[in-house]
Structure 1
Amino acid sequence: MALPPPIRSKRLRKLFTLAIFLVIVSCCCTHFALAAREVSTGAGHDKAMRERYEKWMAEHGRTYMDSAEKARRFQVFKSNAHFIDSYNAAAAGPGGKSRPGLTTNKFADLTEAEFNNFYLRRRPRPPSVAVGTGFMYGNMGLSDVPANIDWREKGAVTPVKDQDSCGCCWAFSAVAAVEGIHQIRTKKLVSLSEQQLVDCSTGVNNRGCNLGDMDEAFRYIVHSGGLTTEEAYGYEAQQGTCRSSGKKAKAKIRNFQYVPPGNETALLLAVAHQPVSIALDGSSNAFRFFGGSDIFGAGGQQCTTDLNHAVTAIGYGTDEDGTKYWLIKNSWGSGWADQGYVKIARDVTSNTGLCGLAMQASYPVA
């Protein structure tokens, strides 16, 4: 193919040069426009996140010492919000149908390390300690108990409480179990004092807001003559001097027993008769930010068997899809999960229970 003749006219050469220049300018303008649009979009996202943060602060009554602390907490909030949004987007089913989701709840401005330090300070109990205490429901079978039970409906559960930033979940778990058996025996529901346990149950394993065990709390209640009421000995979210002297006990127990470890059937037999204290792994972000009335674990939520948190099993059942669950009362306030309660998938592991919830369970005997 023959090449075009050279451009000899000065005017044509100028026009040709101008055309090339215009093409280059057009490409550069397009590039900078796209770059500016990306910057604008990023700024828009950051603005939307800040608006979301301000709304979250207002909803939760959050204030900070100064602007520097607020700025630092915003970065933590943004990181947690990105995790929550990404998790929920990935959990959406075909056609965008929603599955169990996470929410920017009151923990959204805490780092993972801060959350674990404030809320998950339970000491694991050596497995050998659970041997030899007896199990009063051991001669029963599944045919002897109802297919589902919710101790709230039977009046044996006080409203959800909030341990705040004191790592004494062990005290709330033990108190909820004692409140339950007290109501079952006396037909009187009384809100009992967690602060009494925080201040007074101070053996080798129980250290106020730092760590503790439900079984040692039960031992204290047995030997001290019982627990007084929440009203008489109010919660302060910090350990203080024991002030139980002169306060009348409103609920007493004779002893406590362990549920055979790694046995969800045995745990169900116990929960069928009374609320039960259990330990589990509460450290996953999926658990920390879990929201709604869905079943934790049914949507693929993951956890370990590191027993770092204490809660109370107050029931069990099966949903309309046939998924079995445990009904759990937590101590993170009514703003967490389903008004402070959560359903956790049942019979999905062979030995430990999901999140290890069948590994270390115990209950008071009244």
Structure 2
Amino acid sequence: MLKNLIILLVVVTCVLASQESKDSKDKEIRKRTKFNSHLRKHRKNYENLPEEVRVRRRENYLKNLDLIEKHNKEGKHRFKLGSNAYSDRHPERFVDDMCGTKIPQMTRSLPLPPAILASTTPASPAVDWRPNYTQPIVNQGQCACCWAFSAVSVVEAFNEIRGKGMTAMSPQNLVDCDTTNSGCNGGWPRATLDFIKSNYGTKLANSINYPYTSGTTKVAGSCKSPPSVPLNFTTPFQFFLNGNATALKKIISNYGPVAIAMQVSSSGLFQNYKTGIFSDASCPGPNQCGTVNHAMVAVGYGSTAGQEYFIVRNSWGSSWGESGYIRMAMGNTCNVACWAIGVE
């Protein structure tokens, strides 16, 4: 009897071990399948990368996938996450590689004009400049030059909205030639607008004559001098808003799209944003305007079901967020309402 019981226990143990091994293999297969689908969807080829790098990218992707699924299942957030081209990047490394905004030690900020501050000059209830600014979403790639893309977007929008042309300008021109900023190592939108005015007489090459390459090479190239086109602005401006969301609304309403500087945290939420009204508790507090690392362009604001938001244009391609845009909760969410930089 005892012998039979021992045999039975051995058999059961072997069966359970075999099932556990099978489950482990099935789980590994599912992981590989998900990662391979991600690579195909975003046309990524890691065949020439070292094995340890491929494994690390897969682990990053699976961790981000866990974050996405957990966040969406919680059902308490006003925004959803989703897998995108950047979901195989570690959040901290991703921020280092993609966020290149640096506030200069000495920035020239103008006080807000009275018309912006005056309560008698309210902002429009809702503004969306996207129908008037039709340049497609661009992708800065693996170069931390968001400062250049945001400055280019501001002058493109300025020209198109005022009926002065809809030419796509060249951020590569700035990455290569702007000596006041640091190419793929960061910069500041106002500094590059000043550089354009001082060095090019408010002209810049278009994206056909001077195509973007640093997103692939990861470095600035040598400065070239192709034909340039007029940008039609006379004066760059920069307002320090100190978190005043109402002032930012008024500036967007009166001036059009403006560059803003915000803080992208390493929580992975912004990196994997898909849709909805974004907020991130891990961002700096509302009174920490000195902490910013990413430049984008505020193109409008509105509300949904009583929740107000800013509409912000990113430079991470159209597969990120809401076709390249994000709606950020009204207020100073992640320092979005600290700076407004534009031209007139």
Q: Sort the TM-score into its range (normalised by shorter chain).
A: 0.7 to 0.9
Q: CA deviation at 1:71?
A: 5.5
Secondary structure of the residue aligned to 1:287 is: coil
Contact kept, 8 Å, 2:60 with 2:89, in 1: the verdict is no
CA change 1:142–1:183 in 2 (3 A) is: farther
Residue 52 (structure 1) aligned to one of 34, 38, 49: 34
Q: CA deviation at 1:158?
A: 1.3
Q: CA deviation at 1:264?
A: 0.9
Measure, in 1, the Cα distance between the counterparts of 2:130 and 2:6. Answer: 73
The match for 2:335 is 356
Query: TM-score normalized by structure 2?
Result: 0.87
Q: Report whether the alignment pairs 1:252 with 2:238.
A: no
Please, which runs of 5 or more residues in structure 2 have no aligned partner?
Answer: none
Q: Report whether the alignment pairs 1:289 with 2:303.
A: no
Measure, in 2, the Cα distance between the counterparts of 1:312 and 1:296. Answer: 16
The match for 1:308 is 293
| Identical positions, percent | 27
Contact kept, 8 Å, 1:171 with 1:194, in 2: the verdict is yes
Residue 168 (structure 1) aligned to one of 133, 139, 145: 145
Contact kept, 8 Å, 1:286 with 1:301, in 2: the verdict is no
Contact kept, 8 Å, 2:167 with 2:206, in 1: the verdict is yes
Q: Whose relative contact order is higher, 1 or 2, with alpha carbons under 8 Å and at least 6 apart?
A: 2
Contact kept, 8 Å, 1:133 with 1:257, in 2: the verdict is no
Contact kept, 8 Å, 1:81 with 1:104, in 2: the verdict is no
Q: CA deviation at 1:166?
A: 1.0
Give, as a single letter, the amino acid of the residue that structure 1 aligns with 2:221. Answer: G
The match for 1:15 is none
Secondary structure of the residue aligned to 1:121 is: coil
Q: CA deviation at 1:137?
A: 4.5
Secondary structure of the residue aligned to 1:286 is: coil
Measure, in 2, the Cα distance between the counterparts of 1:90 and 1:198. Answer: 36
Secondary structure of the residue aligned to 1:235 is: coil
Measure, in 2, the Cα distance between the counterparts of 1:98 and 1:295. Answer: 9
Q: CA deviation at 1:113?
A: 4.3
Contact kept, 8 Å, 1:92 with 1:99, in 2: the verdict is no
Measure, in 1, the Cα distance between the counterparts of 2:120 and 2:272. Answer: 34
Measure, in 2, the Cα distance between the counterparts of 1:211 and 1:219. Answer: 16
The match for 2:322 is 338
Measure, in 1, the Cα distance between the counterparts of 2:77 and 2:14. Answer: 39
Measure, in 2, the Cα distance between the counterparts of 1:120 and 1:64. Answer: 23
Q: CA deviation at 1:277?
A: 0.4
Contact kept, 8 Å, 2:64 with 2:87, in 1: the verdict is no
Residue 201 (structure 2) aligned to one of 212, 216, 225: 225
Q: CA deviation at 1:236?
A: 1.5
Measure, in 2, the Cα distance between the counterparts of 1:38 and 1:106. Answer: 33
The match for 2:65 is 84
The match for 1:269 is 250
Q: 1:19-74: per-residue Cα shift (whole Å, max 9, x none)?
A: 122223323332332233222212111101101111111111211253x6256324
Secondary structure of the residue aligned to 1:343 is: strand
Residue 212 (structure 1) aligned to one of 187, 192, 199: 187
Measure, in 1, the Cα distance between the counterparts of 2:186 and 2:22. Answer: 48
The match for 1:12 is none
Secondary structure of the residue aligned to 1:162 is: coil
Residue 181 (structure 1) aligned to one of 153, 158, 179: 158
Measure, in 1, the Cα distance between the counterparts of 2:211 and 2:120. Answer: 40
Structure number, greater radius of gyration:
1
Q: Report whether the alignment pairs 1:327 with 2:311.
A: yes
Measured on the aligned residues, the alpha-carbon RMSD in Å equals: 2.5
As a proportion of its length, which structure holds more strand? Answer: 2
Residue 33 (structure 1) aligned to one of 4, 8, 15: 15
Measure, in 1, the Cα distance between the counterparts of 2:110 and 2:147. Answer: 22
Measure, in 2, the Cα distance between the counterparts of 1:325 and 1:98. Answer: 14
Q: CA deviation at 1:79?
A: 3.4
CA change 1:139–1:280 in 2 (3 A) is: closer
CA change 1:215–1:137 in 2 (3 A) is: farther
Q: CA deviation at 1:107?
A: 1.4
How many residues align? The count is 330
Secondary structure of the residue aligned to 1:195 is: helix
Query: TM-score normalized by structure 1?
Result: 0.82
The match for 2:123 is 145
